[in-house]
Structure 1
Amino acid sequence: MIKYIFKKMLLSMKTRYDYDVRYMQDILKTSLGAFLKLMGFQTMSSHSGNLPPEPLYAARLRAIIWDDCGPCTQLVVNMALEEKVDPEIVRAIIDRNMDELPEEIALVVRFTEFVLAHNPEADDLREQILELWGQEGLITLAYCISSYRVYPALKYALGYGKACSRIKVNEDSLAPTRSDTLAMGAEHD
């Protein structure tokens, strides 16, 4: 019975977001225990703490773009739009157009990329994040950054990775922009 409920939940997600859920269906079909662990992990990745949706999705999008340039990124875009994040902000996050982002959102974009690159410049930005949203906000962003990288890795490991594709934000079609800061962390390890 529980597998039936989870199957319906996955089909609902597929329909709602036009997202390929086959990798989750295969996990469920193979091992209920493994699927329950994935569901438990999703409670971490969906944590929003005290943050408004814009900084949440700035961290989630930049983290997922680090490892994916296709369906996972599109899913997060669709979720951001569903949460009423302004499409112009979503586009600017995807394009990494810092001049078009509010200062707080640009801060989150830079912080996310410095964290992922293991760049020590994240330390200064962390202090600014603490001033804005406190320890709870920092923990929430840390969850966003770390957990959103899991989905592309899981899909690729299971053989469901896709080639890059353009991301749609309403009627616009974009190619995710990756930052030059991605390589900076290697110098500091």
Structure 2
Amino acid sequence: MIRYLLNRMLMTMHRRYDYDVRYMQEILQTDLPAFLKYLGFQIMASHSGNMPAEQLFATRIRAIIWDDCGPCTQLVVNMALEAKVSPDRVRAIVDLDLDNLPENTALVVRFTELVLAHNPEAGELREQIRALWGTKGLIAIAYSISSSRVYPALKYTLGYGHACSRVQVDDHTLVPSRSTESQHG
């Protein structure tokens, strides 16, 4: 019965976001305790602390593009739009177009890219972020970056990963821009 209810939850997500949930269904059907741990991870992934939606989704979008520019990126874009982040801002985040982002959002995007590249220059930006949103905000960004990397790793490991594809933001189709720092493999 619990598998049935959990699968209904997954199918609701599938319909809501037009997202392929087969990898989660495989985990659910194969190993219920593993799936329950996955749900526990979802709690961490959804943590927002005191971060405004735009900056939080800027981090999530840039982090997911680092490891996956396919269906996972589309899912996070859809969630950002659902959270009322402006489509113009979402496009600028996907395109890595810092000139068309407010200063605080551009700061978070630059910080995320530097953290993912393990670039020591992230230290200066970290203190700016801490000044704006405190350690709570920094923790929310850390959780967003860390958790965004798990989904592509799970999908590719289980055989559900997809090559890069275009992302739809309202009526615009984009190819996610990767920073030169992210050309890591």
TM-score range, shorter chain: over 0.9
What letter matches 1:16 in structure 2?
R
Where does 1:43-54 land on structure 2 (aligned, <5 Å)?
43-54=43-54
Superposed CA deviations along residues 89-138 of structure 1, whole A, max 9, x for unmatched, are: 00000000000000000000010011011000000000000000000000
**Counterpart in 2 of 1:168?**
168
**Counterpart in 1 of 2:18?**
18
Match status 1:75 vs 2:72: no
**Counterpart in 1 of 2:59?**
59
Where does 1:75-114 land on structure 2 (aligned, <5 Å)?
75-114=75-114
**Structure 1 residue ranges without an equivalent (≥5):** 185-189
Q: In the TM superposition, what is the alpha-carbon distance from 1:75 to its structure 2 partner?
A: 0.2
Q: In the TM superposition, what is the alpha-carbon distance from 1:43 to its structure 2 partner?
A: 0.4
**Contact kept? 1:63, 1:148, Cα under 8 Å:** yes
Q: Distance in 2 between matches of 1:43 and 1:90?
A: 24
What letter matches 1:146 in structure 2?
S
Superposed CA deviations along residues 21-58 of structure 1, whole A, max 9, x for unmatched, are: 00000000001000001100010000011111001100
Q: In the TM superposition, what is the alpha-carbon distance from 1:181 to its structure 2 partner?
A: 2.6
**Structure 2 residue ranges without an equivalent (≥5):** none
Q: What is the RMSD of the two structures over their aligned residues, measured on CA atoms?
A: 0.9
What letter matches 2:121 in structure 1?
E
**Contact kept? 1:117, 1:183, Cα under 8 Å:** no
Q: Distance in 2 between matches of 1:40 and 1:131?
A: 30
Match status 1:27 vs 2:27: yes
What letter matches 1:156 in structure 2?
Y
Q: Distance in 2 between matches of 1:107 and 1:9?
A: 36
Give the 3-state SS of the residue equivalent to 1:173 in structure 2. strand
Q: Distance in 2 between matches of 1:25 and 1:114?
A: 34
**Counterpart in 1 of 2:143?**
143
**Contact kept? 1:19, 1:71, Cα under 8 Å:** yes
Q: Distance in 1 between matches of 2:165 and 2:182?
A: 20
